[in-house]
Amino acid sequence: MNAGNDALNKPFILIVDDEFLQRLPMTEALGHGGFRVAEAENGAQAWELMQQETPDLVILDVVMPVMDGFELCRRIRREERFQHLPIVLATSLDDVASIERAYQIGVTDFITKPVNWGLLAYRVRYILRAARTSQSLAERELELLHTRMEIIRRLGQAAEYRDNETGMHIQRMSHISALLGRAVGLSSHDQELLLHAAPMHDVGKIGIPDSILLKPAKLTSDEFAVMKTHTTLGGQLLDHEPSTLLRTAHTIALTHHERWDGGGYPQGLRGEEIPLMGRLCSLADVFDALTSRRPYKPPWSVQRSVAEIQKGSGSAFEPNLVSAFIELLPEIQRIRESFPDQEPFYGDEIAEIASCGGSAR
């Protein structure tokens, strides 16, 4: 019983090679080196074995029938569960083209033919140790990134709650932003990125005084000047972050109050100088502000809000985005129904239609 458990605790190596005379000495060398070994004659057979048990490392040849080493490597790397699985290519030292191609599709390392059978186990053990160290570092970096993101998300939520918002505003505007992004050709990856970055658009409001943020009336010019700093405050908070998500959130926080005609803030960007993510969030943010209840007004009807968005086409908003927005109204309405306010929505995100040309605070 203990012997069986000991065998299962040994690192499991999968050898994939169509030549028996290559597999045999490799299996013997690794077996003597303290590894548990399985063999496959081609990539398809190896893939079947991997569905039954995940190996700790795969050693594969390049040229094989049915499925070659390159195709097996591509298939492995497409699976999330095999993301950190070490893949070692067995090839001749002068086969530079195969080595370069292998690295491009996700091979971890290579061993050269003819193989030094006496050193093979040491080489495999080193590759395993390096792969595990790399995986551990990647997991720690990911954990740190998630921690930073969670802190910033909570700051964004805190800003919304200070603004007396229930949180449904950021849900609606982020989904509407992603929907618009799909309509104008954003990739699935960028749509997902936008969906998760957009909720941080007003994180800078955490630094705006309550006397301004919670004022139930139109702001004075001096007060509005202070309110406008929430964009730069948000940009500063999200600046110098290494992740793509937080860099996108930085861009959105800094540019979602810019206008197509150059009359927005904080930089007065015009047209396509405004990053697309910011242009998408601007339209979605204003529309949701208009259709939501505020202390000074009941929610505007969808018809009236759409008319206001159309009025801002070419001035506040990019005309192409407005056209896409109109076509998507049925889906936008479904988003609004999916994230209803749970109670009267008393936010401070006043739509400065007259003085700001359609921007929300």
DSSP letters along 313-353, please? BTTTB-HHHHHHHHHTHHHHHHHHHHS--SS-------B-H
The answer to whether residues 122 and 167 belong to one domain is no
> Distance between CA atoms of 52 and 54, rounded to whole angstroms?
7
The answer to whether residues 263 and 309 belong to one domain is yes
The answer to whether residues 196 and 310 belong to one domain is yes
The answer to whether residues 59 and 172 belong to one domain is no
Higher pLDDT, 93 or 256: 256
Segment 83-111 mean pLDDT: 82
Instruction: Please check whether residue 150 lies inside any domain of the structure.
Output: no
Domains of the chain: total: 2
Instruction: Please check whether residue 53 lies inside any domain of the structure.
Output: yes
- DSSP structural state of residue 94: T
pLDDT at position 188 is 94
- Per-residue pLDDT of 258-317, as tens digits, reads 999 999 999 999 999 999 999 999 999 999 989 987 655 678 999 999 999 999 999 999
- Provide the CATH number for the domain around residue 41: 3.40.50.2300
Tokens of 289: 């502000």
The answer to whether residues 39 and 94 belong to one domain is yes
> Distance between CA atoms of 183 and 274, rounded to whole angstroms?
18
> Distance between CA atoms of 141 and 4, rounded to whole angstroms?
36
Segment 150-159 mean pLDDT: 73
Percent of the chain with pLDDT over 70: 88
Q: Is the pLDDT of residue 351 over 80?
A: no
Predicted model pTM: 0.64
The answer to whether residues 122 and 181 belong to one domain is no
Domain that holds residue 63: 2-137
> Distance between CA atoms of 18 and 26, rounded to whole angstroms?
13
pLDDT at position 142 is 80
- Provide the CATH number for the domain around residue 347: 1.10.3210.10
- Per-residue pLDDT of 60-91, as tens digits, reads 988 888 998 899 999 999 988 898 899 998 87
pLDDT at position 167 is 65
Instruction: Please check whether residue 256 lies inside any domain of the structure.
Output: yes
Instruction: Please check whether residue 142 lies inside any domain of the structure.
Output: no
- CB neighbour list of residue 330: distance below 8 Å, 6 or more residues apart: none
The answer to whether residues 177 and 260 belong to one domain is yes
Instruction: Please check whether residue 129 lies inside any domain of the structure.
Output: yes
pLDDT at position 168 is 83
Q: Give Cα separations from 241 to 118, 145, 153, 238, 284 (angstroms).
A: 47, 9, 14, 6, 25
The answer to whether residues 234 and 321 belong to one domain is yes
